[in-house]
Amino acid sequence: MLRGAAPGGCGTAAIRTIRQQRRPLKYREVASYGVSVNIFRRQSSMWAEACARLDEAERRHRHFFDLLAAPATRAVWEPPANIFTAGPEVHVTVALPGVRAEEVQVQITATGLQIDAAVAPQALGAGMNVLHLEIPYGRMRRRVDLPPGRYALIERRLELGCLHLRLAEATP
């Protein structure tokens, strides 16, 4: 029992006594003096929420400086691709609308393919305004993961706005 507080007495007097003693309040003391435990639960949930918000702010702060430290790169559009296998061959079709064949670069990397291209925007005449724009312009880059193995490019053709690649497993 608390010194200076009678059972069934005023709960605030009991809490005042505990504060004067500068010690944490025990659950049974709170319950015995009729003080609602919800007050303490609400305070602890507010503390947990404050800590969570501080953690979130710190995470966003770190992310912001990570973005500043990263080298600036130009925007790149990733075109859609279809990938099929037929035995030891891999067929890749990439949609590249408006790209000329000489503007396409294909590299076979250790993990797959990297396809780079660029498309200049269409020239607008005097007095023309863009009403709706869906065809992508600018740099395009697509990385395609291939099944494990070494590949050689057998066929490469660009027709009807699609790049068709045929790869076969290279023999060591």
What is the predicted pLDDT for the residue at 158?
92
79, two tokens: 């075109």
Q: What is the pLDDT tens value at each position of the chain, 172 positions in all?
A: 444 444 444 455 555 565 566 555 555 555 555 545 555 566 677 888 888 888 888 877 776 666 566 565 666 788 999 999 988 899 999 999 888 888 899 999 888 899 999 888 777 788 888 888 777 788 889 999 888 888 899 999 999 989 999 999 887 6
Report the alpha-carbon distance of residue 134 to residue 145 in Å, rounded: 27
Q: Which fold has domain 81-169?
A: Immunoglobulin-like (2.60.40)
Q: What is the pTM of this model?
A: 0.53
Q: Which alpha helices (DSSP H) does 1-74 contain, by range?
A: 11-21, 27-32, 38-69
Q: In what order do the strands lie in the sheet with 112-119?
A: 105-108, 112-119, 138-145
